[in-house]
Amino acid sequence: MSTSASLGQKPTRGTGRMAAVRELVQMLRMLFEVEREFVRTVSALIPRVGNIELKYLVCQHIWESVSHARFLRERGGELSGFGKDDAVRESYRSIFEEAIRAEDPMIGLNGFYKVLKPALLDAYRHYLEATHHLADWPSRKLVEEFIVDEERHLREMDPYLSQTNDQDWKQHLSTALDELGGWLGEREQKLLPEGFVWNREELPYRHPDVCNRGEYPVCSSVFGNDQESDPIVREWLEDPKTDARVVRLMIFIWLMMELDAVDYLSTMFYDTAEAPFDLHYDLARHLWDESRHSAFGYRQLPKLKVDLGTLEHSLDLYNILIQMSPPERYAMMTMEFEAGSFATKAHVMDRVRELSDFEADTLLAFDRNDEQQHVRFGHRWLPEIMRLFGETGSVKEFVESSRERFKALEREFGGKTPHSLNPEIRLTGKKLLAIAKVA
């Protein structure tokens, strides 16, 4: 890669037999890096935004963006000069790091979707203008599809951002990007004005101690053994005497509460900045899966006569896991929570099948399939994440030590979120009995 490309500037006309290929592949490399950095940083905003549908949408965009990056890398690998590693140039990273320093997460999303993503759309359009329609046909067909995605991303996000319009922050990010002349250096570069201050240099980024659930009521946990207080009564899940309709309601509550996995898994991208791209690709798939699983419950419960305003969201897992190191966090998620859920969920699936509810059967089957894949991700990537953080012991020993540390942190940070609603209002196991009779 040329010096100009490494600085985020417009590639210069090269010489030699392969100059035309190298010039275009430099732009593919730049686009790959921009998509990768979007995924790494916008994910950090997910625990900070409160709107549930918005969390789901950002997860979807992350999955589509990481897929763009994957196809760009694969196409780049077919051409000369794309590079063998997955590194991102510092000039790009500095802008994305700046983008997550907004104090208000909605202003932060404005920066991504009103400045950085439109600039990426411009870069893709510039690529089509700069490339030969026949010689670079395979790349162009990919970029044409990505343009459609990027245009849709902006449309889908616009309703959420229409009430948030911080011109100063957008101008701040635009000024930073102007120094590069756009992601591909396709427009005139402008020196940073005197007095420009990079917030990233003054404000180290840290994840929030508590995730945001917006207008929804919260509690420490929805699992328990008190039907007068808890919506998921543990012993009912596996008791063959429990009405299958009640089991169906409880599993949809369980699925909806996988939103906690969305919030704490989203922190892993930022914390593993130097990880291989393939790790982030699988994390993005994992994140998108968890958001879909949560949406299974979010969409189905109202159909079964559950008022979501009475269902408290449990925050314990995020509150505890955010205190753990990234490899501990990932170990608990994949090798403990998900691997440990199979037996109970298998029993639940059998009970729900008694209802001849095709939609419920389908959703639970896909949840099961996805969770098995996530455990495979854990086996593949936990050793790599351990390596990134200097953990030298065996995986088995590390998983066991993570379990013990989780138990210790649970005593300190668990059970600290009081019920937002009193028992007369909030959804409980006893109330599920009544709802099941009319669902």
218: helix, strand or coil: strand
Residue, of 17 and 220, whose pLDDT is higher: 220
* Number of residues that make up the chain: 439
Instruction: Identify the pLDDT of residue 348.
Output: 96
pLDDT at 27 over 80: yes
pLDDT band (50, 70, 90) for residue 9: very low
**Stretch 197-211: mean pLDDT:** 93
Q: Where are the beta strands (DSSP E) in 198-282?
A: 218-219, 223-224, 232-233
pLDDT at residue 12 above 60? no
SS3 state of residue 214: coil
Give the alpha-carbon dihedral of 187, 189, 192, 198, to 10 degrees: 60
Amino acid present at 140: R
pLDDT at 2: 36
Q: Closest by alpha carbon to 192, among 120, 201, 12, 40?
A: 201
The model's pLDDT over 310-368, given as tens digits with 9 standing for 90+, comes to 999 999 999 999 999 999 999 999 999 999 999 999 999 999 999 999 999 999 999 99
Looking up tokens 């419960």 gives 301
Residue 439's pLDDT is what?
Answer: 62
Half-sphere exposure of 290 (CA within 13 A, CB side): 28
In this prediction, residues 371-399 reach a mean pLDDT of 97
Instruction: Please say if the pLDDT value at position 18 is more than 60.
Output: yes
Instruction: Give the residue from 101, 104, 124, 65 showing the smallest Cα distance to 176.
Output: 101
Q: Average pLDDT of the chain? A: 94
3 state DSSP class of 124? helix
If residue 253 lies in a helix (H) or strand (E), which one and from where to where?
Answer: helix 244-256
Residue 140 has pLDDT above 90, yes or no: yes
Whether the CB-CB separation of 282 and 380 falls below 8 Å is answered with yes
**pLDDT above 60 (res 8):** no
Rounded CA gap, 226 and 193, in Å? Answer: 62
Whether the predicted pLDDT of 189 surpasses 90: yes
Instruction: Name the band, by pLDDT with cuts 50, 70 and 90, for residue 256.
Output: very high
Secondary structure of 372-410 as H, E, C letters:
HHHHHHHHHHHHHHHHHCCCCCCHHHHHHHHHHHHHHHH
User: pLDDT band at 164, cuts 50/70/90?
Assistant: confident
What confidence score (pLDDT) does residue 239 get? 94
pLDDT at 4 over 50: no
The whole-angstrom separation of Cα 208 and Cα 39 is 18
CB contact set of 212 (below 8 Å; sequence gap of 6+): 47, 48, 49, 50, 105
Instruction: pLDDT band for 62, please (50, 70, 90 cuts).
Output: very high
**433: Cα separation from own chain's centroid:** 35
Q: How far apart are CA 402 and CA 397, in angstroms?
A: 9
Considering only 136-145, 162-171, 380-389, which range has the smallest mean pLDDT?
162-171
Q: Which amino acid type is present at position 377?
A: F
Q: What is the mean pLDDT of residues 415-425?
A: 95
Confidence of residue 135 (pLDDT cuts 50, 70, 90): confident
Angle at 28 between CA 22 and CA 34, to 5 degrees: 140
Residue type, 358: F
Q: What number is the average pLDDT over the span 368-389?
A: 97
- If you write DSSP's letter for every residue of 34-89 in order, what string do you get? HHHHHHHHHGGGGGG---HHHHHHHHHHHHHHHHHHHHHHHHHHTSTTS-SS----
Predicted confidence (pLDDT) at residue 6 exceeds the cutoff of 70: no
